[in-house]
Structure 1
Amino acid sequence: MTRLNTALTRLLNITTPVLCAPMAFAGGPKVACEVTKGGGFGFTAAGYLDSQALGKQLSTARAYLNLEPNAVLPIGVGYLTWKLEQVDEKEAHKMLDVSLDSKVQAVWLAFGTQIGRWIEYIRKATAVTSRSTETNYEYAPKIFVQINSLDEALVAVNDWKVDAIVAQGLEAGGHGGSYAPSTFSLVSTLLTTLPPGGPPIIATGGLSNGTQVAALLTLGAAGAAFGTRFLLTPESDYTDLQKDTLLKADAKSTVRTLGFDHARNTLGWPQGIDGRGIRNELIEDYENGVDVNLLREKLRDGVKAGDPSRMVVWAGQGVGEMKEIVKAEVLVHEIHKALVKGLQNQHLILDGSSKDTSKIPASL
């Protein structure tokens, strides 16, 4: 593949500025590894796991990539920081330590009121040497913080000095800020307001193809993160029924709601955060005021019976453009190919020529 030169590819030493977002109950370490193998960079999700389960995931990833024990693990881990805030500090540190001991290359933090606290812990724990007394090396994961507004981005840049900003727009599947503007508008606002020379801006929310990434790079973003698109891979943790639901969905199929969280009993999200998924009978019941205990019972019965109308299927607004299941590594290549073609087409517009631009490197 043509190696692209953006602030994100330089930060992570990757070929293409394409990320797989962390997705609890949906993505998983195999998807993350395949995206990294494809030249992008994959994140798995700590989500609702405990430290032992997360450790097993990262051990699986290390074995999957056939890495030496002390090598940096070239995937990242995403944390729901409000979950860290629900437990005592010792347990929260233990959850973070799993990633640090595994030497993951990046940590993605989102959805909490004390994100700066966890950033401080990560930096202190990896300031000079490893946390192991048996080795002595410098190691520090790159810190990504997900934001949904300019105000959140200003804190992340000015106060926390993060390594990268993930700008999530309203179109995103899974959880996000109900107050967020569109992905394009949010990225544009950040690029025109944040001081120059800051961390790379990664766009996410409703994306389905590489042509969109080319447009975002032209806008000034350093890369893009895909969520729903990587659920339609053999390696994702979604069931065949969930994947089939995504394949049948269109642009009008999704809805933002807390109904799925009431049904799953996964409440505790910060104010203004809800989730986007495929509208179904479960949400209709929620909107019609069905008792929450009955809602949860119907969810359990639906999952047991394999009834997609009673299941949770997260999806962004770009789901209607996704029509096939593709291996994650291959999918990265397809996104990259369309991205490069989009950049080359923009070059043609600029110089007004029709000459072959297949050899033109993209340097941004």
Structure 2
Amino acid sequence: MAGGASTPRLAAAVSEAGGLGSLAAGYKTADGMYQEIKQVRSLTSRPFGVNLFMPQPEYADPAAVEVYRNQLAGEATWYETELGDTDVKRDDGYEAKLAILRDDPVPLVSFTFGCPTRKDVQALARVGTTTVVTVTTPEEALAAQEAGADAVCVQGVEAGGHQGTHRDNPETDRAGIGLLSLLTQVREAVRLPLIATGGLMRGAQVAAVLAAGADLAQLGTAFLVTPESGAHALHKQALTDPRFVRTELTRAFSGRPARGLVNRFLREHGPYAPAAYPQVHYLTSGLRKAAAKAGDPQAMALWAGQGHRLARELPAAELVEVLVAELDAARAVLAGHGAAGPGAGDGTDGAA
């Protein structure tokens, strides 16, 4: 949830309610991350996590980026803004952020867009930090296990925002695996605890992934509409707006596959966006901000998981309470079915 949606208030509220809040460090400076960590600590004494983006290798074709820049020239004129500079660092300040997290540890650090080295994992382990690696395939989970990670976050293709693939290979853009199938594959591949994420919006869905082999569940889109979320008001409204009926994986806004609500910009530019992250992210940054300022969601990156229509406008702590109550209710139903056998009681079958 990098890019503004994640806030210290949101992370602290979730942790205070008994969940594990997470602070996104992506797109922030190392000092910016540190200041937000201090804010979380001022709001809660409970555990929380910090998510880091892994440095990205150089594989973008500069010529393809320039072609895309030319394609977006009309958008820049329309929104009266400039297209961004694509001569940017690809490491997101990773080493500087890691140094801060070693010197002033937080309870948990998670990694996206790749796998940290064993050396980095061990350095965090020495200061008492639990490490989690986002994975989208069994092979990525095995790499995380080899690196010594404490757990993996298993991200199904249903997830909103960026897919956390370790390699950005355009040939696999449509090869994403659904969460339930992926959980089973990863469970049979590694011995690590599994955190399930992707499209989860209700406590009953959490019960389902726990029954399927997950140890924990992680929700993102469900918290986008909370008052503590830093998502733009237009983004929050769009999640349940009947004009936005579906999501799609696209490179249009960042150059990396990410799931968002299908709007005009995604439809018109998605088919032509190059595999060039983070260059495209910075190229379109001004456009997205200008569209938001103009009150036009049709050119904003409206990241959302497949369950976005199930979003509920509740304070974060209340949403955690509701999810826990739904989880408990679903578990009670499953336990009742297990005791009485399939089809007993309410006329449903044992697979509910």
What TM-score range do you get, normalising by the shorter chain?
A: 0.7 to 0.9
Does 1:303 pair with 2:292? yes
Q: Post-superposition shift, 1:125?
A: 5.7
1:94 aligns with 96
- Given candidates 302, 307, 319, the residue that maps to 2:308 is 319
Query: Is 1:36–1:42's contact at 8 Å kept on the other side of the alignment?
Result: yes
Q: Secondary structure, in 3 states, of the residue corresponding to 2:108? A: strand
Q: Tell me the TM-score normalized by structure 1.
A: 0.74
After superposition, what is the alpha-carbon deviation per residue over 1:304-328, rounded to whole angstroms, capped at 9, x for unaligned?
Answer: 2121112111000011222x31111
Does 1:280 pair with 2:253? no
Where do 5+ consecutive residues of structure 1 fail to align?
A: 1-21, 68-72, 128-138, 262-266, 268-272, 356-364
- Given candidates 334, 342, 347, the residue that maps to 2:335 is 347
- Given candidates 217, 225, 233, the residue that maps to 1:224 is 217
- Give the direction of change, closer, same or farther, for the CA distance of 1:251–1:313 in structure 2 (3 Å limit): closer
1:103-114 to structure 2, matched below 5 A, reads 103-112=105-114
Tell me, in whole angstroms, the C-alpha distance in 1 between the residues paired with 2:89 and 2:184. Answer: 37
Tell me, in whole angstroms, the C-alpha distance in 1 between the residues paired with 2:122 and 2:292. Answer: 41
Tell me, in whole angstroms, the C-alpha distance in 1 between the residues paired with 2:302 and 2:90. Answer: 31
Does 1:47 pair with 2:26? yes
Query: Is 1:168–1:180's contact at 8 Å kept on the other side of the alignment?
Result: no
Q: Post-superposition shift, 1:24?
A: 3.5
Tell me, in whole angstroms, the C-alpha distance in 1 between the residues paired with 2:26 and 2:124. Answer: 22
Does 1:175 pair with 2:162? yes
- Give the direction of change, closer, same or farther, for the CA distance of 1:277–1:319 in structure 2 (3 Å limit): same
Q: Secondary structure, in 3 states, of the residue corresponding to 1:303? A: helix
Q: Post-superposition shift, 1:252?
A: 4.1
Q: Post-superposition shift, 1:287?
A: 4.1
1:82 maps to a residue whose letter is: P
Tell me, in whole angstroms, the C-alpha distance in 1 between the residues paired with 2:120 and 2:284. Answer: 39
2:50 aligns with 77
1:182 maps to a residue whose letter is: G
Q: Post-superposition shift, 1:87?
A: 5.7
- The count of residues paired between Structure 1 and Structure 2 equals 299
- Given candidates 194, 200, 208, the residue that maps to 1:201 is 194
Q: Secondary structure, in 3 states, of the residue corresponding to 1:48? A: coil
1:49 maps to a residue whose letter is: K
Where do 5+ consecutive residues of structure 2 fail to align?
A: 59-87, 166-172, 275-279, 346-352
- Given candidates 142, 145, 152, the residue that maps to 1:165 is 152
- Give the direction of change, closer, same or farther, for the CA distance of 1:170–1:88 in structure 2 (3 Å limit): closer
Q: Post-superposition shift, 1:94?
A: 1.9
1:277 maps to a residue whose letter is: G
Q: Post-superposition shift, 1:350?
A: 1.1
Q: Secondary structure, in 3 states, of the residue corresponding to 1:276? A: strand
- Give the direction of change, closer, same or farther, for the CA distance of 1:250–1:92 in structure 2 (3 Å limit): same
Q: Secondary structure, in 3 states, of the residue corresponding to 1:248? A: coil
Comparing 292-301 with 234-243, greater Cα deviation is found at: 292-301
Query: Is 1:210–1:338's contact at 8 Å kept on the other side of the alignment?
Result: yes
Tell me, in whole angstroms, the C-alpha distance in 1 between the residues paired with 2:56 and 2:100. Answer: 15
- Give the direction of change, closer, same or farther, for the CA distance of 1:154–1:88 in structure 2 (3 Å limit): closer
Percent identical residues? 30
- Give the direction of change, closer, same or farther, for the CA distance of 1:23–1:311 in structure 2 (3 Å limit): same
Query: Is 2:156–2:198's contact at 8 Å kept on the other side of the alignment?
Result: yes
Q: Secondary structure, in 3 states, of the residue corresponding to 1:152? A: helix
Q: Post-superposition shift, 1:250?
A: 8.3
Query: Is 1:251–1:319's contact at 8 Å kept on the other side of the alignment?
Result: no
- Given candidates 174, 183, 189, the residue that maps to 2:185 is 189
1:361 aligns with none
- Give the direction of change, closer, same or farther, for the CA distance of 1:56–1:294 in structure 2 (3 Å limit): closer
Tell me, in whole angstroms, the C-alpha distance in 1 between the residues paired with 2:266 and 2:90. Answer: 34
Q: Secondary structure, in 3 states, of the residue corresponding to 1:221? A: coil
2:116 aligns with 116
1:153 maps to a residue whose letter is: A
Tell me, in whole angstroms, the C-alpha distance in 1 between the residues paired with 2:41 and 2:23. Answer: 13
- Give the direction of change, closer, same or farther, for the CA distance of 1:228–1:88 in structure 2 (3 Å limit): closer
Tell me, in whole angstroms, the C-alpha distance in 1 between the residues paired with 2:308 and 2:322. Answer: 17
Query: Is 2:124–2:131's contact at 8 Å kept on the other side of the alignment?
Result: no
Q: Secondary structure, in 3 states, of the residue corresponding to 1:44? A: strand
2:212 maps to a residue whose letter is: L
Comparing 224-233 with 243-252, greater Cα deviation is found at: 243-252
After superposition, what is the alpha-carbon deviation per residue over 1:45-84, rounded to whole angstroms, capped at 9, x for unaligned?
Answer: 110111111111111111112x4xxxxx611110110269
